[in-house]
Structure 1
Amino acid sequence: MVLIGVLIACALVLLTFPVFLVQWSLYIAQSGSGKIPRGRWWFIPWLGESLHFFYKSPDQFFRERYARFGEIYRTHILGSPTIITSTPEHAKFILATKHKSFKAIYPPSIDRVLNHPSWEGAFHQRIRKIVQSSMLSETIRDSIPKFESLCRWCLEDWNEREFVVTHDETRKFAFHVALSITCSMAPCEESMRLLDSYGILSNGAISMPINFPGTGFHLAIKVRFHFRSEILTDLTSLVKRRKSDTATTYSDILGSLLASKDDQGTKFTDDEIRDILITFLFAGHETTAVFLVWIVKYLTEHPDILEQVRDEQDQIRSAREHPESPLTWSEIKNMPVSLRVVQESLRLANVAPFSPREVVEDVEHDGVLFPKGWKVQVYYRHFHLNPTYFKDPHKFDPSRFLTPPKPGIYTPFGNGIRLCPGSEVVKLEALIFIHLLVTNYNWKIVGGDCGVQYWPTPRPKGGLHLKVWKRSD
């Protein structure tokens, strides 16, 4: 036993000594030049401060370091030395001005669970152009009846249940909107199977990447081959069906991918198309679903604002010749109160609070050195909850958007060339959801406030249980 203890101690010394040398060199460099941001020491290779980052509130993690080190500091999370920046100025520099020096990346857990591809340069621009063309206002306005039909399908029996788990239902809505945009797939057995597979993988895709029994990451790794295989099988079948259907013209992302050619006339391979579809379906529904849950929670907690929204939506409905007629684009554009609720919910919920990057070459800016190979996290949540930029930042106050915020401080969809191309679709989904919810139902939260679950995305813990009844009841 003594020998085993000695061997373990020696192993720990051997593992941590190189890290100590690295950190000491950083300390010396900082003392001499002051260019590397200050931060805490880390003594365990790979792990660093990851446990604190994942298993306590991220708000607490960043608040403690911000108070000690200021708006930019270093840490070691997710296996890499990382610089956290919390200023709009640095965000603009990293994501826009000098974006070629900061490569867009995904957390290691997403890479391992989803086998996520990294798209750069002309290949990324080609994909982005296709996706953006499917998200333009003139394109999505034609999809309003389809999106409204999907929302009605998800809401139709809420009043008949003992209680509703809001997140389960908003996932179903957001996922089928993403399927509609991607491949024109309507709700069916195949779509529900895809939704279930994504649900299992998503819970481990954004998590502490420790492959140990009992963790969400371990479960996701364990089942990823089975469920990723199911997803690939379904999408392969979809691509084959679409390629054989030459008589129909499809105005969706899959149709554009199949038709696209690069400058040399080369088309996407089937494997590339499947990877693009997998990525888009993951990115296109998870955060939107959580965002819709927050809207319900905020409206429930602020009955005065809910009443303003309901008055607005009732007026829209009563102005129609037939109250049950589908929403129109002009009605969507005439929802200023509801739109401010959407904007404020995006600011306060911060369902996508980070923008991770990898430094591809040494970069200096404003006296700060970003060393090659390090990771950078642009922390949007700090902008949105900073009293310098937003008065009473933790208060839900949609009226603050009566005056547009200054450029660069309101970034719910990111910034720079990687700005989320689906921002208008997300807002459209939210306005349709709000309209149908408040004009048809009353509700209350059951089970009390269970707190916040921060991973894989910040959400009300438990998914927000509601008791729902018809307004006419």
Structure 2
Amino acid sequence: MWTVFGLCVVGLIVVWFTHWINKWRNPKCNGVLPPGSMGPPLIGESLQLIVPSYSLELHPFIRKRVQRYGPIFRTSVAGRPIIVSTDVEFNHYLAKQEGRLVELWYLDSFAELFKQDGENKTNAIGLVHKYVRSITLNHFGIDNLKETLLSQIEEYVNKTLQTWSSLPSVEVKHAASAMIFDLTANKLFGYDAEKSPVKMSEKLANTLDGLMSFPLNIPGTAYHKCLKYQNEALNMLRNTVKERMISPEKRRGDFLDQAIDDMQTESYLTEDFLVYFLFGILFASFESVSALLSLTLKLLAEHPTVLQQMTAEHEAILKNREDPNSTLNWDEYKSMTLTLGVINEALRLANVAPGLLRRALKDIEFKGYTIPAGWTIMLANSAIQLNPNTYKDPLAFNPWRWQDLEPQVVSKNFMPFGGGIRQCAGAEYSKTFMATFLHVLVTKYRWTKVKGGKISRSPMLGFVDGIHINFVEKHS
């Protein structure tokens, strides 16, 4: 009798397990789901996504599935069902549907970094998003760049490169991370890296290491370490906000001061919100600009003709100045045709993030497929920016191609800073920083790559062993 009972139990478990597997592999949908595979239950296809590749080509996770299923396919990452789109028209359409069909969304491992009081604040819409964009543009937008920030960036870059030139070599990704972090943090809340007892940039770097890891919060995992360093960084920011709020004499009229003043009129602005807001801005600028700068120097080192012509462009700017001792101005920045082409080309090839994430607010119909409400959508613009139908020889570093591309083609096929109302408010700040760095570099320094530079995508852009460069002042 016990044998029969045991066989019945086993049979029930097998039936239940089979039903569960079938349900996982064939999710409910009020229509036809895009083709694809959900992978094993819970884990999904997470491991395939984080397996590194070692070239500027599209990450194999996306490339192989596009070849098998087409430009729109389904998958699962970290237990969450995801639709991945490399379709130009669909991505462009969704970028304009913020708050109607889709909302901002992050994978759990990233979203957890921006939670407060158990609530995810990354998908803020309406008044909150308008405020975030407004205050960011007020301090890092074009007007402020023209008036004061451009010259401050140049001064800071001069100081940084002087320090780098005193060293045998510099691992650019790490050094650039600290450079962009220290300047941005200074503009946000007066952070002084030289006086700070703890390097906040190192906390952010350690947080980033676990960003794309599986969100398993147990001791010893990369994600657990990631959260540990994140908490340390948040505590430092929390102390900064508290100190400013209770010490009016320390006001500087900066970003943080404006946010604190706005707490009187904007109910959603809390002390905790400001802490996470500052963290988010620092996090975004920290990784994207340092990865982009590292790749740019690697590409320039490998293409001496581009470097030679770009150097001539910047030397012409110095030659045409009435006052040779004046600093870079906005008109000069906008005249850097080749340099801006170099930056755009590096942005196109870098694809620092694998894609933009949104969540469907309702069922979305497109080309006969239905994307269920609640599903995550990855707009894989990395694939679009490497499309040979738009960019001839897409893996080639060709900054001159930007002189011939039509504006309407660029608007749909080049979105390194996002699109629609979610386009990054710090986009111009990042590009201006890059151009200013290159201006100082090629007019005042000689530089050579010492070692490293091998690309690694996992799927975010990185380098296997960094890229080490020796900087030498031209007059020395």
Same fold (TM over 0.5): yes
2: CA distance, partners of 1:56 / 1:12: 36
Q: Retained in 2: the 8 A contact 1:291–1:346?
A: yes
What are the within-5 Å matches in structure 2 for residues 5-404 of structure 1? 17-24=19-26, 35-42=32-39, 44-57=40-53, 59-97=59-97, 99-115=99-115, 117-118=121-122, 119-141=124-146, 142-190=148-196, 193-211=199-217, 215-241=221-247, 244-245=248-249, 250=253, 252-260=254-262, 266=267, 268-320=269-321, 323-404=324-405
Question: What does residue 4 of structure 2 align with?
Answer: none
Q: How many residues align?
A: 455
2: CA distance, partners of 1:144 / 1:224: 30
Q: Retained in 1: the 8 A contact 2:52–2:457?
A: no
2: CA distance, partners of 1:82 / 1:67: 18
Letter in 2 for 1:338: T
Name the stretch that deviates more: 334-343 or 51-60: 51-60
Q: Retained in 2: the 8 A contact 1:54–1:208?
A: no
**Structure 1 12/214 Cα, relative in aligned 2: closer, same or farther at 3 Å?**
farther
Question: Is 1:427 aligned to 2:431, yes or no?
Answer: yes
1: CA distance, partners of 2:12 / 2:336: 66
* Root mean square deviation of aligned Cα: 2.8
Secondary structure of 2:465's counterpart equals helix
2: CA distance, partners of 1:174 / 1:12: 56
Question: What does residue 3 of structure 1 align with?
Answer: none
Give the gaps of 5 or more residues in structure 1: 1-6
2: CA distance, partners of 1:8 / 1:438: 72
2: CA distance, partners of 1:351 / 1:105: 17
**Structure 1 136/113 Cα, relative in aligned 2: closer, same or farther at 3 Å?**
closer
Q: Retained in 2: the 8 A contact 1:176–1:191?
A: no
2: CA distance, partners of 1:450 / 1:9: 53
2: CA distance, partners of 1:312 / 1:260: 44
1: CA distance, partners of 2:72 / 2:260: 44
2: CA distance, partners of 1:19 / 1:388: 39
1: CA distance, partners of 2:352 / 2:288: 6
Q: Retained in 2: the 8 A contact 1:93–1:99?
A: no
Give the C-alpha shift of residue 458 in structure 1.
0.4
Letter in 2 for 1:37: P
**Structure 1 96/16 Cα, relative in aligned 2: closer, same or farther at 3 Å?**
farther
2: CA distance, partners of 1:202 / 1:318: 42
Give the C-alpha shift of residue 431 in structure 1.
0.7
Fraction of identical pairs, as percent: 26
2: CA distance, partners of 1:87 / 1:320: 46
2: CA distance, partners of 1:267 / 1:20: 43
1: CA distance, partners of 2:63 / 2:129: 35
**Structure 1 322/208 Cα, relative in aligned 2: closer, same or farther at 3 Å?**
farther
Question: What does residue 5 of structure 2 align with?
Answer: none
Letter in 2 for 1:259: D
Name the stretch that deviates more: 155-164 or 79-88: 155-164
Letter in 2 for 1:55: V
Secondary structure of 2:140's counterpart equals coil
TM-score of the superposed pair, with normalisation by structure 2: 0.87
**Structure 1 434/40 Cα, relative in aligned 2: closer, same or farther at 3 Å?**
same
Structure 2 counterpart of 1:469, from 458, 469, 472: 472
Give the C-alpha shift of residue 323 in structure 1.
4.1
Name the stretch that deviates more: 153-162 or 80-89: 153-162
Give the C-alpha shift of residue 212 in structure 1.
5.8
**Structure 1 240/454 Cα, relative in aligned 2: closer, same or farther at 3 Å?**
farther
2: CA distance, partners of 1:41 / 1:280: 33
Q: Retained in 1: the 8 A contact 2:114–2:276?
A: no
Secondary structure of 2:269's counterpart equals coil
**Structure 1 128/82 Cα, relative in aligned 2: closer, same or farther at 3 Å?**
same
2: CA distance, partners of 1:186 / 1:317: 31
Letter in 1 for 2:33: I
Give the gaps of 5 or more residues in structure 2: 1-8
1: CA distance, partners of 2:77 / 2:92: 23
Give the C-alpha shift of residue 468 in structure 1.
2.5
2: CA distance, partners of 1:155 / 1:12: 65
Name the stretch that deviates more: 211-220 or 428-437: 211-220
Name the stretch that deviates more: 140-149 or 318-327: 318-327
Give the C-alpha shift of residue 177 in structure 1.
2.8
Give the C-alpha shift of residue 112 in structure 1.
2.6
Q: Retained in 2: the 8 A contact 1:257–1:273?
A: yes
Larger relative contact order (CA 8 Å, sep ≥ 6) = 2
Letter in 1 for 2:109: S
Secondary structure of 1:208's counterpart equals coil
Structure 2 counterpart of 1:409, from 396, 401, 413: 413
What are the within-5 Å matches in structure 2 for residues 423-462 of structure 1? 423-454=427-458, 457-462=460-465
